[in-house]
Chain A
Amino acid sequence: MRMKKLSGTYLGVFLAFLYAPIMILILFSFNESKGRTFTGFTTRWYSQLFSDAAVLDALWTTLVVAFVASIVATIMGTAAAIGLNKMEGRSKTLIMNMTYLPIINPEIIVGVSFMLLFVVAKNLLSSVGIPFGFGWITLIIAHITFNVPYVILSVLPKLRQMDGSLVDAAMDLGCNHWQAFTKVVIHEIKPGIITGFLMALTFSVDDFVVSYFTTGAKHQTLSVLIYSMTKKRISPEINAISTILFVFVLVVLIVVNIMERKTLEKQKKAREYQLREGGI
């Protein structure tokens, strides 16, 4: 009993620690003055947000980069996982190790290495007269690169769990390789693909370090904009947009959670049925 009380208190304190700065941010998004002391309630920052060109441009850049990079990464990563699943031996180990690199390497090294690559590429390409600069392209390439591994690592286990004879069965019933993929395999690995896509999207939206080293002067992502603001004073508009994003994620998570619970219940019912009708 005493243990229970103790752990409950500890959890409460821990969660307060986790949420304190977030609550502060949300609170300040309704703060009348721009400073860090609360002077009065206002929704001014929310309305101003939608007329601030810099913030809206950053939001747009962030979303475009995140979606383009995640979609490309999901397609390339899923294909890669399917290919890798069939590979064996040294070549597979080598490719898998390459895949882990962007995940286990410190972000700053990933960012810096991209910067070096793009600087070298810029010099090489401009010497042959092709204009190349930091901007959309460099951002998207960098984001695709650090997203693909997450897709591969969430699709691969699904492929491995999949009953291999499902593909055999599909081909046995008349599917060619491509049909077997679209009609059977994709349905089996769909959860992995979705997880991979969502992970990629989250990491992209959230990324600061890699974007910081690969962004151009013109279009900045939200993170990079926020960072440049922290050097001075953060505009409460940023608090407002973060609050909106936070509430949005919260709602999505709650919906997903409820949906998952429903499928779990369905599966439970199905299992009960199977037990009841043990025989035929």
Chain B
Amino acid sequence: MRTKAAAYPYIAWGMLFIAIPLGLIIYFSFTDSAGALTFDNIIRVGKYSNVVVKSVWLSAVSTVICLALGYPIAYYMSRASAMTSRTLLLLIMLPMWMNFLLRTYGWMSILENSGLINQFFGLLGLGPFHLINTQGAVVLGMVYNYIPFMILPLHSVMLKIGNDVIEAAQDLGASPRHVLTDVVIPLSLPGIKTGVILVFVPSVSTFVISQMLGGGGNQLIGDIIELQFLGNAYNPNLGSAISFVLMLIVLLLMSVTGFIGDDLEENLI
């Protein structure tokens, strides 16, 4: 049929600009600067294992915090009136329209030694507390930037849980706690999965948040990749190898959560 041909320009485009570039990452990972096959790059990633572990750990902590903070909000929104729900949704989305570098910069102003929090404590004669350039600050930046990505999928899944289902559970004798653990949480599982992915993936690969809020001492995977491509350490082969490892981590997480599958599309939109 002729209609299918409408997709051909995109298919060609995708081959050229999606498939080939990813192929290049793999190619560069396994070659040296002269183009010869080597495993040196992958082996050298091992040197950065502490960075990898730290990235995964901080992102995991951020993801759990996002889930804990975001879940009640998503649930509240899904049970509120359409009007309230829409307004809240808008309020949560709105900050995303301000450049995230600036929002993160805003946190620098709040957290730094002479920043707003310490100014406040200073008035009380306390502090200054060392807040910026800590792991805590990095986690805060991740939670702040990515929590909407947790709330949105949770909200859209919870909207589909009918009040009748909850009422049926209550009718059958479920206490509020059991309504939550036996009905709401199992039914919102797909939203939890999506939210976890959408928070974890950008967190584990960030280099901006770690640089702005973590100072020099909290390098993450993203930082060392950036360093290989745009930093002084220019080494695209090593950079590709680290990127390759990062891709594997993301892929592993997705297959563990069963995110990749038939309902991938549903999960994304």
Contact = CB atoms under 8 A, between A and B. Distances in A.
Classify A-B as touching or not with yes or no (CB < 8 A).
Answer: yes
Interface of A: 7, 10-11, 14-15, 17-22, 24-25, 28, 36-37, 76-77, 79-87, 95-96, 98-110, 112-117, 119-120, 141-142, 144-145, 148, 152-154, 156-157, 177, 202, 206, 208-209, 212-213, 222-223, 226-227, 230, 234, 238-239, 242, 245-246, 249-250, 253, 257
Nearest to B201: A106
Contacts of B202: 106-107
Contact of A112 (B11, B102, B106, B229): B229
Interface in B99-125: 99-110, 112, 114-116, 119
Contact of A79 (B9, B72, B101, B265): B9
A208 B4 contact: no
Nearest to A24: B106
Contacts of A22: 95, 98, 103, 106
Given A24-B110, A227-B208, 19 more contacts: A10-B72, A22-B103, A22-B106, A25-B103, A83-B7, A86-B1, A100-B268, A103-B268, A106-B250, A109-B22, A112-B240, A145-B14, A148-B10, A208-B100, A208-B101, A226-B101, A230-B108, A234-B102, A249-B97
A209 B18 CA distance: 16
A116 B69 contact: no
B186 to A, nearest CB: 22
B69 A14 contact: yes
Nearest to A78: B6
A276 to B, nearest CB: 23
Interface stretch (B39-47, B85-93, B158-166): B85-93
Contacts of B98: 22, 25, 242, 245-246, 249
Contacts of B2: 177
11 contacts: A10-B73, A11-B76, A22-B95, A25-B102, A36-B108, A106-B201, A106-B205, A106-B222, A109-B25, A223-B101, A249-B97
Contacts, number: 220
B4 A18 contact: no
Contact of A120 (B24, B104, B205, B239): B24
B269 A141 contact: no
- Prevailing SS type, chain B contact patch: helix
Contacts of A120: 24
Contacts of B5: 83
Nearest to A62: B99
Identify which of B1, B10, B202 gathers the most chain A CB atoms within 10 Å of its CB. B10
Contacts of A104: 197, 201, 250, 254, 268
Given A20-B110, A21-B103, A108-B225, A83 B205 contact: no
A14 B204 CA distance: 24
B154 interface: no
B106 A98 contact: no
B102 A239 contact: yes
Contact of A157 (B3, B102, B269): B269
B233 interface: no
